[in-house]
Structure 1
Amino acid sequence: MKHLTIIVPDGQSTLSSVACIVGAHEMFATANAYWKENGRDELFKIELAGISEESEFQDGMLSLKHLSPVSTVRKTDLILVPALVHDFQGARPGNKLLAEWIAKQYRNGAEVASMCTGAYMLASSGLLDGRKCSTHWHTMNNFRTVFPNVILEEENLITDEKGIYTNGGGYSFLNLAIYLVEKYYDRQTAIYCSKILQVEIDRQRQSAFIIFTGQKLHDDEMVKEAQLYIESKPDEKISVEDLSSKFAVGRRNFDRRFIKATGNTPVEYAQRVKIEWAKKAFENTRKTINEVMYEVGYSDVKAFRELFRKITGMSPLEYRNKYNKEAS
């Protein structure tokens, strides 16, 4: 029998942490039960582990008891790290100990998966340096600042690299759990869990949920001014040459500073601003696709649709129908 360890954080947690712990436990327990019903032995022994034998959440509103101290877990095959608050720079000592334990277990052959902002604990262990990672889109800018050596994949819901898994935000941790069930059990078990727990299978992107706000957690005032200028003119076609000239910076130097500060080229940033404006129009108005397209400075329907799909993972019509009942 394999061993699954679900980490219970030492504070710095939220109700989402509890949801991840309980939801992942139920997913793997359901998979175990399915195998047992079909004449096979349960695949995983599931264990909750932390620093102490009890952990409280939300000022004592909820608590988890009878936890196994990680110091007693000598060997495990798979570790799941739940969501955390994203101020992991001020991590409690217990969480640092958990991160060190996770890194040690990985070196000893365990695989590790972080759910939502659990990526902060995983990154603090050093295991994500130079590797791909996903986390909640809302914390991407902060995460990129705290862990510059991690390769963030904003659009992807799940990353899978050398026995390390990460996933996007919120309750998408259930999609990661389904993914791991298929990997460790089989496809049919994943389908069964998907149907019983009513979790969509094979979901790969979180693009449609992202609200683009722009990376402004940097100290380059010129770039901040350029960002605000771009954001104030979603209906205009702004050339990079005009921007660099406006701020009296050479084109190459302007590009370099903009990319370093925001993670996007000026063109990509302007495109994201326009598509975010278009998304809000589709959500809140009855405007047609063409009307919205013209209002964000596009005249080529094909080009607009391709860009919209590239950024959101959906066509403009699919997006409007999903988020605007009146318009659909």
Structure 2
Amino acid sequence: MKNIAILVPEQSVLQAIADPQYCFSAVNDFMVKSGGTPLFKVELVGINREVKLNGNCYSVFPNQLLDTATKPDLVVIPALFGDMKVAIEANKAYIPWIKDQYESGTEIASLCVGAFLLGATGLLNGKKCSTHWGFTNLFRELYPEVEVQDGTIITEENGIYSSGGANSYWNLLLHLVEKYADREVAILTAKYFAIDIDRDSQNSFSMFKGQKSHQDEAVKKAQEYIEKKLEERITVNALADEVAVGRRSFERRFKRVTNNSVLEYIQRVKVEAAKRSFETSLKNISEVMFDVGYTDTKAFRTTFKKITGLTPIEYRNKYNKFARMN
């Protein structure tokens, strides 16, 4: 039997505590009903006997405190809520405990922005990590030694697991069920909870806003130029000339402060505009393509799918209800 400790931090998301407990408990129920034995012993582990969440609307009562908890095989860190820096400070007592567990052989799984508390332990330094697509820039700022995986649903490295944004953590839970049980049990669990078991990207959900929380005025000017000239074919040379910076220096500075190359940034801005058009208008693929400065259908389709994980038609049909009706 695997001992699973689900942490109950301050400022955590209630569902990210309840859902893993529900998932592993359901697997136990499946096993018992099929004539087997439970696979998991699930405990809620906290610093205090009562933790109030969601603006004191709910109370969670951990089964165990850190100093009395059974040695876990897996520690689950739920998603945090609110200001990440404040949440990490409120839960700093967990940090040495998590490190001690991992160093003694326990596996660690962070759900969504629970990755911020995991990052504070230093265990992710030099490793890959997934988190909510909307928090990747902040995560990179706080933990520059961690290799954040843009758009990835599940990341696993050396007994440390992390998941993408929001409900993506269900895919990590299914991954863990498959590892600790088998594929058949994981499929049964996926069907029970109506989860797409093999979804591996959160890119179709992400919204690109650019990285502008920097002080490089030349790069900001270039970013604003790109966003205003969607319909044009913009070159790196033209942008460098626009901001009066040498090309090599401009590319280096742009990459450093935005985490994107200039061409990647141009592509992502154009694709984000195309996504909004597909979501809200009845324009056909060619019209949208021309609106965002593409004239080659194959190039547009390839770039769009690389960034979103879906073809333009698939994206429009998924997110525009009027398109589905026609």
TM-score range with shorter-chain normalisation?
A: over 0.9
Pairing partner for 1:307 from 281, 285, 303? 303
**CA gap 1:248/1:229 in 2 versus in 1, 3 angstroms:** same
**CA distance, structure 1, for counterparts of residue 51 and residue 154 of structure 2:** 28
1:125 is aligned with what amino acid? T
Structure 1: gaps spanning 5 or more residues: none
Structure 2 CA distance for partners of 1:195 and 1:270, relative to 1, 3 Å: same
Deviation at residue 201 of structure 1 after TM alignment: 0.7
- Quick one: which amino acid aligns to residue 305 of structure 2? R
Residue in structure 2 matched with residue 4 of structure 1 by the alignment = 4
Aligned mates of 1:84, 1:224 — CA distance in 2? 31
> Structure 1 residues 94, 105: CA separation in 2 closer, same or farther (over 3 Å shift)?
farther
Code of the residue aligned with 1:77 in structure 2: it is D
What pairs with 1:105-116 in structure 2 (closer than 5 Å)?
Answer: 105-116=101-112
Aligned to 1:225: 221
Find 1:320's aligned residue among 311, 316, 322.
316
Corresponding position of 1:36 = 32
RMSD: 1.3
Matching residue within 114, 139, 142 for 1:146: 142
Question: CA shift at 1:94, angstroms?
Answer: 5.3
Match of 2:68 in 1: 72
Matches within 5 A, 1:9-158: 9=9, 11-13=10-12, 17-73=13-69, 75-85=71-81, 87-91=83-87, 95-158=91-154
The CA distance in 2 between the partners of 1:35 and 1:58, in whole Å, is 33
Equivalent in the alignment of 2:249: 253
Deviation at 1:91, TM superposition (A): 4.2
- The equivalent residue for 2:208 is 212
Assess if the C-alpha contact under 8 Å between 1:86 and 1:139 holds in 2: no
Alignment partner, residue 180 of structure 1: 176
State the SS of the aligned residue for 1:273: helix
Whether the 8 Å contact between 2:233 and 2:293 is mirrored in structure 1 is: yes
Conserved in 1, the CA contact under 8 Å of 2:11 and 2:53? Answer: no
AA aligned to 1:43 is L
Q: Identity of aligned pairs, percent? A: 47
Superimposed CA distance per residue, residues 147-195 of structure 1 (whole angstroms, 9 cap, x where no aligned partner)? 1111111111110111111111111211111111011111111111111
**1:97-136 CA deviation, whole Å, 9 max, x = no partner?**
1122111100100111100110000000001111111111
CA apart distance, 1:70: 1.0
What's the offset of the Cα at 1:12? Answer: 2.5
Q: CA deviation at 1:92?
A: 6.0
For 1:99, give the aligned amino acid: I
- Aligned counterparts of 1:22 and 1:66: Cα–Cα separation in 2: 12
Higher alpha-carbon deviation: 30-39 or 303-312? 30-39
SS of corresponding position for 1:96: coil
Q: Which has the higher contact order (CA 8 A, sep 6+)?
A: 1
TM-score, normalised to structure 1's length? 0.96
Q: How many equivalent pairs are there?
A: 324
| Equivalent residues of 1:4, 1:46 under 8 A apart | yes
- Does the CA-based 8 Å contact 1:286-1:326 persist in structure 2? yes
- Which among 191, 194, 198 is matched to residue 194 of structure 2? 198
SS at match of 2:60: strand
* Residues 155, 207 of structure 1: 8 Å contact kept: yes
SS in 2 for 1:166: strand
3-state DSSP class of the match of 1:119? helix
Asked if structure 2 preserves the Cα contact closer than 8 Å seen for 1:145 and 1:217, the reply is: no
Deviation >4 Å, runs of 4+: 91-94
CA shift, 1:219, in A, is 1.9
Change (3 A) 1:296 1:93: closer
CA shift for structure 1 position 18: 0.7
